[in-house]
Amino acid sequence: MSFLDKILLWLHIGFAIFALGPVTAATMFTPRYIRAKDLNVLRYLHRSTRIFGLLTLGVFLFGLAAGGRNLGLPYLSISMTLFIVAAVLLVIIDRDQRTAVRVLSNDVPEDDAKVQTGRIATLAAIMALIWLIILVLMVWFNPGP
């Protein structure tokens, strides 16, 4: 493994740790603060989801660069497909967070964002499960150097 390959792998792992963890935490905590109708925390979580969601692209890009000519291996193809599915779920979660902020900003008491609460909780759990499946694929099915 060359020095450049090691750097790309370290960047891939670093982005995975420092981007996927916070985005997963922000999405998992969102339903709690929707139910509590804490608009300030909800805005913060929405902003965090957007920032760390964009940083997750670094995981994918550095993973592509580190994979190089091995991208055709089944565990990498499955991982990339799952990552794209998780990214789509993250976009839907971001949309629902934005809607919840808008609904709770209104003075109408009937709007309580219950639809967004359930959908965000479900999609965030699925997204976290996808990250774990990708981790299993990377650790146990990686043939190594």
Give the predicted TM-score (pTM) of the model.
Answer: 0.90
The answer to whether residue 144 scores a pLDDT higher than 70 is no
Average pLDDT over residues 90-105: 94
* Continuous segment of H or E residues that includes residue 36: none
The rounded Cα 13 to chain-centroid distance in angstroms is 15
Mean pLDDT (whole number) for 51-61: 96
Contacts of residue 89, Cβ cutoff 8 Å, sequence gap at least 6: 123, 126, 127, 130
The sign one gets for the Cα dihedral 112, 102, 98, 26 is negative
Tokens, residue 125: 């759990």
Across 22-26, average pLDDT: 96
Q: Which residues contact 125 (CB under 8 A, 6 or more apart)?
A: 28
pLDDT of residue 68: 85
Contact at 8 Å (CB) between 94 and 53? yes
Distance CA 63, CA 99 (A): 32
Average pLDDT, the chain: 92
Q: Where are the domains of the chain?
A: 3-140
- Strands annotated E in 39-104: none
Average pLDDT over residues 39-49: 96
What kind and span of H or E run contains 2?
none
